[in-house]
Chains A and B, each alone.
Chain A
């Protein structure tokens, strides 16, 4: 199906474990983003990518790693999960236009770190 998908949708893990959240889009959008959403903070940018093999830090990158070897995939890895990383994670993509004002969001991954 066309669109942007995330997997898993729900994940429970233990402190110290490595976790990878997957994101896949079928539009060949240039830009991709990872956000976390917490009460009182709204959407905070973790990492973003302007194209394959080009990534950069956002507002809250500590403890996270990303890669983008293919345009359509943008996985997010928590190297050693901490309780403070319990959150809802959203992947998004947008086209490369003069101003990429519209972002398309995935359904989110709800992560709990115990």
Chain B
């Protein structure tokens, strides 16, 4: 079993839809939870991060962490065609520097 599991999709939604992306993990020592966005033929870029449990909001994006269930989510409100990309969850232990990445979910937002 992988340390981080993420459904690869693809996920196709109409413009304006609410998108929910999810990951599960097995290592209870993870304390940093990140979401990276990767456009086609580009390197990943950090979108958001959360420390420990709770929610974090940034514009149309909300990241949620439920440590009791070992489950993290990224919500995208009012999705736009420009949100079409691969979204990778990633996790890190406190004091660590080796990030563990999920497989990535490909998202397509249709105009």
Contact = CB atoms under 8 A, between A and B. Distances in A.
Contacts of A101: 32, 34, 49, 92, 99
Nearest to A90: B43
Interface in B12-69: 31-32, 34, 41-46, 49
Interface in A84-114: 90, 92, 94, 96, 98-103, 105-108
Given A98-B95, A99-B31, A102-B49, A42 B42 contact: no
Interface residues of B, number: 25
B8 to A, nearest CB: 7
Nearest to A31: B97
Contacts of B71: none
B22 to A, nearest CB: 15
Interface of A: 31, 35, 39-43, 45, 48, 50, 58, 90, 92, 94, 96, 98-103, 105-108
A102 B49 CA distance: 9
Given A42-B104, A43-B101, A99-B95, A105 B8 contact: no
A12 B55 CA distance: 45
Nearest to B42: A107
Most chain B beta-carbon contacts within 10 A, residue among A90, A96, A100: A100
Given A40-B8, A42-B88, A43-B88, A103 B99 contact: yes
Contacts of A31: 97
Given A99-B92, A100-B97, A101-B49, A107 B103 contact: no
A105 B32 contact: no
B44 A105 contact: yes
B104 to A, nearest CB: 5
Given A42-B6, A42-B88, A107 B43 contact: yes
